[in-house]
């Protein structure tokens, strides 16, 4: 399949690149690396995202070239959907993007439903950034410093700084090559992890007040409400990474972040250690993702939602 993707890239002249809503480092780094590669090949390229770039990722090369509106999709020969297990994940313009004549999906989610006939999928890959590294290496493409920076950021964020089980020797081979060709690990890490705004810390302080330990301290959770955002002046993007905090408690096997996105409407982010498969839990409630990192949406009051999740984890 990778040879067919390369053939489509070589033949195409006009490309639309997109990724999922609620952007993370892997989605953005992968988009921007691919954008720069295609530009270097002389292609016409547009990167479209429904959501605006989170503050912590605005240092990435070429972020200023991202657009947030789509006009006529007939102008594109190829659409490339990155880091999405389902076309609906790109947001409100999913149906329009689906009309592009040739659609390619590059993704590493175990819950991917194979919505594209032309795809590069590997649920064992650490990130979509790692898959793009493989693609560019297969193409024998000379990666610039800016491309390497974007791919390194994609990989480091989706591996939790190489802490997650998806990190393999192939991951380290990729980042070793990226560093050799110009990616600066210290500079990238400082921008991603040591560049928080004061409002994020204020929001975190409120979230920590909700810390709950359940099932004999095997499940830890935090809650962020709309009221918390209003009182601190923070935005939803500032909750990134909160779900990993309960994981740091000794004995915790599953960590959950409940973020309120409307009246009786919550997004759940789930993380796990050891052999606990939180993708099964997310899938039970209409979501999906990875074995150790998944998400879903649930409606109801927070206590009833918590009760359902704890029950599902206990059964698992």
CATH 3.90.1640.10 corresponds to the domain 2-193: yes
Per-residue model confidence (pLDDT) at position 71 = 84
Element at 103 (helix H, strand E):
strand 102-107
Q: Give domain 198-315's CATH architecture.
A: Roll (3.10)
Per-residue model confidence (pLDDT) at position 1 = 81
Sign (positive or negative) of CA dihedral 99, 100, 101, 104: negative
pLDDT digits (tens, 9 = 90+) for 73-115: 999 999 999 999 999 999 999 999 999 999 999 999 988 888 9
pLDDT bracket for residue 250 (50, 70, 90): very high
Alpha-carbon gap, residue 216 to 153, rounded angstroms: 36
Alpha-carbon gap, residue 11 to 172, rounded angstroms: 32
pLDDT digits (tens, 9 = 90+) for 155-204: 999 999 998 888 999 999 999 999 999 999 999 999 999 998 999 999 99
Per-residue model confidence (pLDDT) at position 262 = 84
Per-residue model confidence (pLDDT) at position 156 = 98
Per-residue model confidence (pLDDT) at position 111 = 86
Residues of the chain with CATH 3.90.1640.10: 2-193
pLDDT bracket for residue 275 (50, 70, 90): confident
Element at 303 (helix H, strand E):
helix 302-315
Alpha-carbon gap, residue 179 to 73, rounded angstroms: 36
Alpha-carbon gap, residue 192 to 153, rounded angstroms: 8
31 vs 15, 63, 147, 173, 270, CA distance in Å? 12, 10, 10, 21, 25
Residues of the chain with CATH 3.10.310.30: 198-315
Q: Inform me whether the pLDDT recorded for 29 exceeds 90.
A: yes
| pTM recorded for the entire structure | 0.89
């Amino acid at each position: 399949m990778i040879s067919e993707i390369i053939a489509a890239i070589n033949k195409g002249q006009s490309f639309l690149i997109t990724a999922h809503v609620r952007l993370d480092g892997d989605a953005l780094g992968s988009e921007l690396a691919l954008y720069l590669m295609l530009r270097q090949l002389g292609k016409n390229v547009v990167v479209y995202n429904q959501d605006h770039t989170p503050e912590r990722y605005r240092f990435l090369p070429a972020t200023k070239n991202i657009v947030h509106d789509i006009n006529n999709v007939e102008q594109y020969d190829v659409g490339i959907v990155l880091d999405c297990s389902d076309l609906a994940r790109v947001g409100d313009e999913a149906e329009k993007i689906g009309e592009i004549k040739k659609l390619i999906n590059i993704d590493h989610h175990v819950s991917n439903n194979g919505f594209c006939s032309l795809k590069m999928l590997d649920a064992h890959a650490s990130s979509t950034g790692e898959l793009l590294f493989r693609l560019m290496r297969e193409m024998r493409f000379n990666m610039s410093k800016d491309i390497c920076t974007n791919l390194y950021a994609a990989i480091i964020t989706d591996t939790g700084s190489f802490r997650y089980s998806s990190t393999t020797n192939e991951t380290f081979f990729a980042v070793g090559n990226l560093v050799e060709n110009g990616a600066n690990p210290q500079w990238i890490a400082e921008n991603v992890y040591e560049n928080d705004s004061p409002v994020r810390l204020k929001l975190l302080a409120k979230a920590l007040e909700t810390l709950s330990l359940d099932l004999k301290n095997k499940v830890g959770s935090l809650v962020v409400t709309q009221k918390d955002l209003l009182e601190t002046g923070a935005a939803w993007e500032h909750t990134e990474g909160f779900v990993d905090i309960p994981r740091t408690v000794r004995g915790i096997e599953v960590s959950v972040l409940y973020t309120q996105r409307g009246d009786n409407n919550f997004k759940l982010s789930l993380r796990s250690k050891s052999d606990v498969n939180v993708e099964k839990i997310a899938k039970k409630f209409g979501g999906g993702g990875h074995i150790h990192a998944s998400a879903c949406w649930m409606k109801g009051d927070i206590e009833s939602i918590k009760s359902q999740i704890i029950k599902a984890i206990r059964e698992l």
